Structure 1
């Protein structure tokens, strides 16, 4: 069983979500090594006792469980498969857990490359944004060997409350695509409802009291609609990363000969916002689509 006595954890990617997630592992007593492209974003964790690695290679050489949550699939590929990456420099029986939203095909490739070195690779993307990360209430969707998943389960439980094994390598990423497809169209509905309330002369915050607990209820309505009304567009999840996710989902749907008109519309609307300089805003900034 993985415990602070026999486990050194490395965490790669200490951004909006990663910083909180790594902090929970540190709070649980595990020795923690961190790496981030911008060291300043890891400073809070370093001040709390985490050690710094100046590359994924150094992390791989000094830890036996490594979590990653980075930006894009090309970042994942570099971190895992590059010359200074985790797999070329990792050791046997290390556990690699990628929590980035990435492509199912890359998750499978990483799994196969890791397996050749007797390293355990798990794709475990998450949902819940900055709030879920901060409160350790993330939904975690896991793919890979079930035995490896069971081994790291005690660590996943430090990060989330809804943790489900979905199947073989890539299954976690496919499940995350389902999540993002549901959010994409749902966010349009949340924004339209708030704009409608305003135009009808209602108090949108009062409207939320009625509709957020009924059949219209959703995480986005309860957590992001209030931010819209407060004009708070700080990122819990970046628009630029959501566009990346939607592109992945559209590509996967095309491979399965499936039409996803709601997803395509949402991607187009978010791309319009990104072109206007909103790529680093939170996804709730879709509200501005009707304001510009």
Structure 2
């Protein structure tokens, strides 16, 4: 089976590499070709356009930053929709607005192809280790076709039903994660400003009800002044915007979400390319 992978950034590079190591025949596309060099060196074939990639692939996988990037590789000149045909499968791993997933599904259907929205839980290291969690919604047949590939890049893949259920779950996940981690880091900055040792406070919090392996990973890096990007500040701000939009659409009262969105908005210009945990710096200024 030929797999085409579009988007070789922090997440996509690890995912594509795991598929390649598992023996799939891989075609790749990235706006910046240098990011494909390691994959090419290991046997992947670089395509000059998404259109070419879709011509040669049975499964077209995307892992991109946002809706704009997805539109560029699908709808623009030489986008993959130009060569998409009956029986092919499009899987969008990107975190996008749920309404865009509905729109993309219809464009794919017009080509008599199948579509899955499949946002993932996990960031850089789980992507590299093949330990993501995949949330899929869309064509059930497509999910079954992709099962073998999904097993190579995830520890669990779940089929949730119709589009955009997977996008809704991802929005809820990122809202809950961003608000809770922001509160945790605010607490550590608060502790520091009143004269407590943040590491000591963290060790106490981590021994009780607030123990959380991902918080532990993030906080240890913060305490070491390490803000290497695993999930960028600007991408979390984008996802908080999606969550607010969905909340407004369904008339949900989400004051914590709104407050955390404002905090990320405040730090966006200064911390955009850093890890999302750089929200700590806003409280520590």
TM-score by length of 1: 0.92
Match status 1:113 vs 2:104: no
Q: How many residues align?
A: 285
Question: Which deviates more from structure 2 when the two are superposed, residues 264-273 or residues 192-201?
Answer: 192-201
Tell me the equivalent position of 1:4.
Answer: none
For residue 172 of structure 1, the aligned residue among 148, 166, 169 is 166
Cα distance in 1 for partners of 2:37, 2:200 equals 41
| Paired residues for 1:2-41 under 5 Å | 7-41=1-35
Tell me the equivalent position of 2:277.
Answer: 284
1:158 to partner: Cα distance: 1.1
1:116 to partner: Cα distance: 2.3
Tell me the equivalent position of 1:227.
Answer: 221
Match status 1:158 vs 2:152: yes
Cα distance in 2 for partners of 1:96, 1:280 equals 29
Cα distance in 2 for partners of 1:213, 1:56 equals 49
TM-score by length of 2: 0.94
C-alpha root-mean-square deviation of aligned residues, in Å? 1.6
On the 8 A contact 1:190/1:220 being kept in 2, the answer is: no
Instruction: Tell me the SS of whatever aligns to 1:100.
Output: coil
Tell me the equivalent position of 2:249.
Answer: 255
1:198 to partner: Cα distance: 3.0
Question: Which deviates more from structure 2 when the two are superposed, residues 237-246 or residues 196-205?
Answer: 196-205
Deviations 1:144-182 (A, max 9, x none): 022221221221111111322111021111111011110
On the 8 A contact 1:81/1:110 being kept in 2, the answer is: no
Cα distance in 2 for partners of 1:207, 1:30 equals 47
Instruction: Tell me the SS of whatever aligns to 1:193.
Output: helix
Match status 1:63 vs 2:57: yes
Deviations 1:70-115 (A, max 9, x none): 1111111222233322222112211111011001111111112212
Cα distance in 1 for partners of 2:65, 2:200 equals 37
1:203 to partner: Cα distance: 4.3
Segments of 5+ residues of structure 2 without an aligned counterpart are none
Instruction: Tell me the SS of whatever aligns to 1:90.
Output: coil
